[in-house]
Amino acid sequence: MKQEDKLKQVNEEIARRFTSIKNKLNGASDIAGMLETLFDEVENEFQIPFVWLTLINENKNATVIEAVKSSDKLKTRLNLISRAVFDELLKEGVKPVLINNNLKPYYKLFPQSKKYFAKSMAIVPLCLNDEIIGSWNNGDVSPERYSPDMDTDILEHFAKLISNRLTEIANIAF
């Protein structure tokens, strides 16, 4: 089998898993439930050991922050940071960032109560009403799991779906 065919099969499988997760997210009726489902499903579907959320600590994100803090499952996997720090780390806008070396600056994204033994990370920006509010983060002990040379198109598309669903739920809450 050609390398291109193998890559196509892998991408199709990843897309299938994300579609399965997306379908489960569509059943969520509140922000905390949606994010809990996201974390559970990503951990299970992809065997990702470290999943957490970093939110920009601003008043306009209060609805999401409060929803996350209200969840026993999520509140210990949340970090709040300033927009300046977030923007310094994620200069690519809504494009996911994959890293597997010089991770130390990105430790600022870790929850205060958790120190993950991550050797590679995927940092996926999330939006609410088309404005970045933070990131959903995945970490792995393997430095090969996430590498800057990997294609992030499928992950970026999935992040848009998550952001759209988050916006839907948040706007219903108002």
Tens of pLDDT, residue by residue over 116-125, are 889 999 999 9
- For residue 58 the two structure tokens come to 């601003």
Quick one: average pLDDT of 75-83? Answer: 96
- For residue 40 the two structure tokens come to 């559970």
Q: What's the number of CA atoms in the CB half-sphere (13 Å) around residue 42?
A: 24
Quick one: average pLDDT of 134-143? Answer: 96
Q: Are 48 and 137 in contact (CB under 8 A)?
A: no
Quick one: average pLDDT of 67-90? Answer: 95
- For residue 145 the two structure tokens come to 């799991």
Quick one: average pLDDT of 26-47? Answer: 93
pLDDT higher than threshold 80 for residue 7: no
Residue-number span of the structural domain to which 129 is assigned: 3-173
Q: With residue 52 as reference, give the H or E element that holds it.
A: strand 50-56
What per-residue confidence (pLDDT) applies to 1?
64
Beta bridge partners of 121: 99, 139
Q: Which residues contact 15 (CB under 8 A, 6 or more apart)?
A: 154
Could you give the CA distance from residue 162 to residue 156 in angstroms, rounded to a whole number?
10
Closest CA to 32 of 99, 81, 78: 78
Mean pLDDT taken over the chain:
91
Could you give the CA distance from residue 165 to residue 163 in angstroms, rounded to a whole number?
5
pLDDT higher than threshold 80 for residue 173: no
Could you give the CA distance from residue 112 to residue 56 in angstroms, rounded to a whole number?
14
CATH of the domain at 75: 3.30.450.40
Q: What's the number of CA atoms in the CB half-sphere (13 Å) around residue 169?
A: 21
Among residues of the chain, what percentage have pLDDT more than 70?
98
Quick one: average pLDDT of 161-169? Answer: 94
pLDDT higher than threshold 60 for residue 126: yes
Q: Which has more pLDDT, 146 or 9?
A: 146
pTM of the model: 0.91
Quick one: average pLDDT of 58-70? Answer: 95
Report the domain count for the chain. Answer: 1
Q: Are 39 and 51 in contact (CB under 8 A)?
A: yes
pLDDT higher than threshold 90 for residue 93: no
Which residue intervals of 47-82 are DSSP H helices?
A: 62-69
